[in-house]
Amino acid sequence: MGKKQSQTQSFLENGIRLPVSVIDVSGNFVAQVKTKEKDGYDAIQIAFGNRKRIKKPIKGHLDKAGIKTSARFFREIKFDEAAEIELGKNLGALEIFQPGDIVDVSGVSKGKGFAGVVKRHHFKGGPRTHGQSDRERAPGSLGQTTTPGRVYKGKRMAGRMGHENVTVKNLEIIEVTNDGLILVKGLVPGGVNSLVIVKKVGENKKFVPLYKEVTEKLTVKPAAKEAPVKARSEAPVETQTDSAGALPVSDDVQEEEALKSPQQSEAPRAEDKVVKEEAKEGEQNANS
């Protein structure tokens, strides 16, 4: 037994997207073991769920099995080797189901209230021509005339829709977690937190698992040891000096210092001013 939690989507390793139903099957306990010698048949009774207020007969039944939690639902399952199962054992999801198993899921469908035949039984409705403006969603004829003179039982008509026991067959289990959750491919009947029964019927040999992101751990390699630097030779270096005892200066350094000196940089500016003044005087004399 399980509790429907939600509906979501997942992706397989081959990139296919699937609708997935999440079912919580944690908390299944063996409440009673029945045998042929005592009860006439082999079966086990499973307790599931929780309730706020528990009745004394149910509490005594659970105490006898050693179950400390209060159970809400009880179901029997026929089992040939029931005598070998321990009373009060907690049935884990991984003990019963594996990814790739084919299961049938049963539950009570959602109630839709009073519905017509088009919504409830998918009737086509009447034609939209020849003046039948009020027959689009009508059921049509319900039976014959004199023979048999009545409406057969089970005739599809308008009425209450939903809230029925529904079984969806041949669903596939995609993933089983350690905390008791199973992911079932497709949709299962019932609303959120409703009771469902999952029954294993087969196994898919061509099962494709879910896609899982693999996070690689980055390993920091140790820094390579630097090669030892060879000791430089301590031989004296000979330098040439001029007659004054100063070190010689290269031609490039002399050029840079000449550009930086303010006296040489201001000289051409003064010459430009003299040339401009002479040009102005020449223009004035020509105009006069």
Q: Residue 58 is part of a domain; what is its CATH number?
A: 3.30.160.810
Q: Is pLDDT above 90 for 252?
A: no
Flag whether 121 is in a domain.
yes
Flag whether 240 is in a domain.
no
Query: Mind listing the pLDDT tens digit for each residue in 108-164?
Result: 999 999 999 999 999 998 888 888 888 899 999 999 989 999 999 999 999 999 999
Together in a domain, 121 and 200: no
Flag whether 257 is in a domain.
yes
Flag whether 235 is in a domain.
no
Query: Mind listing the pLDDT tens digit for each residue in 195-215?
Result: 999 999 999 998 988 888 655
Q: Could you tell me if 86 and 29 are in contact, meaning their C-beta atoms sit under 8 angstroms apart?
A: no
Query: Mind listing the pLDDT tens digit for each residue in 214-250?
Result: 555 555 566 556 555 555 555 555 555 554 455 555 5
Query: Mind listing the pLDDT tens digit for each residue in 54-85?
Result: 899 999 999 998 888 888 999 998 888 777 88
What type of residue sits at position 248?
P
Together in a domain, 52 and 120: no
Together in a domain, 176 and 106: yes
Together in a domain, 274 and 204: no
- Give whole-number Cα distances, 146 to 131, 141, 143, 154, 186, in Å: 29, 14, 10, 20, 48
Together in a domain, 85 and 32: yes
Flag whether 85 is in a domain.
yes
- pLDDT at residue 201, rounded to an integer: 93
Together in a domain, 106 and 191: yes
Q: Is pLDDT above 90 for 20?
A: yes
- pLDDT at residue 281, rounded to an integer: 74
Flag whether 67 is in a domain.
yes
In the chain, pLDDT over 90 holds for what percent of residues?
46
Together in a domain, 137 and 192: no
Together in a domain, 106 and 202: yes
Flag whether 276 is in a domain.
yes
Residue where one domain finishes, among candidates 213, 229, 244:
213
Radius of gyration of the chain (CA): 47
Together in a domain, 178 and 106: yes
Together in a domain, 63 and 39: yes
Together in a domain, 69 and 34: yes
Give how many domains the chain has, as a whole number: 4
Flag whether 236 is in a domain.
no
The domain of 195 spans: 7-24+102-110+165-213
What average pLDDT score do residues 83-103 get? 89
- pLDDT at residue 226, rounded to an integer: 59
Together in a domain, 17 and 44: no
Q: Residue 208 is part of a domain; what is its CATH number?
A: 2.40.30.10
Average pLDDT, the chain: 82
